[in-house]
Amino acid sequence: MSITTTTHLNFRGDARAALTFYQSVFGGELAITTYGDFGMPAEAPGAQNVVFGQVVSPEGFRVLAYDIPGQSGGSAAGTGSTHRENGVTITDQPFFVSVEVGTLPEVGAYWQALAEDATIVEPLAASAWSAGFGMLTDRFGVTWIFGVAAPASA
């Protein structure tokens, strides 16, 4: 048996912009279907919003997204709070999107691209568990954690 899980992000009118940005960071193919494509009259509010969108890259990156019907004004996925206690980052975000890559230069390239207009929660640096770990909340309110994948132990 095989199972695949994919992060599905919910936006408030800016799913297309977010997916386009994620494609620019991670590469791959972008697919977008709007509510209008499924028969909503073109003049109806929200007809151009995304009902199904995805970015899939040959390297394994995959994310799905859509615009919540009747919602607009930009996404607020990252409206939770983050603070530090005793040197530890504490956050009440309901989820993080985790990206693990094999080397620090690879992680650094994705980090640098996604960090544009982002809030850095934890700077990308060596940690006790990884040669590179960092956390940021991107311009669309999605919190990402990046890490160098630990080598498989024998």
Q: What residues have CB less than 8 Å from 70, skipping those under 6 apart?
A: 46
Domains in the chain, ordered, with CATH?
A: 7-67 (3.30.720), 82-148 (3.30.720.110)
Return the pLDDT at 5: 86
pLDDT band (50, 70, 90) for residue 150:
confident
Tens of pLDDT, residue by residue over 92-109, are 666 789 999 999 999 999
Output the DSSP codes for the chain: ------EEEEESS-HHHHHHHHHHHH-SEEEEEETGGGT--TTSTTTTSEEEEEEE-TTS-EEEEEEPTT--S---TT-S-EEEETTEEEE--S--EEEEESSHHHHHHHHHHHTTTPEEEEEEE--SS-SSEEEEE-TTS-EEEEEEPPPPP-
Tokens of 26: 């991670």
pTM score of the predicted model: 0.85
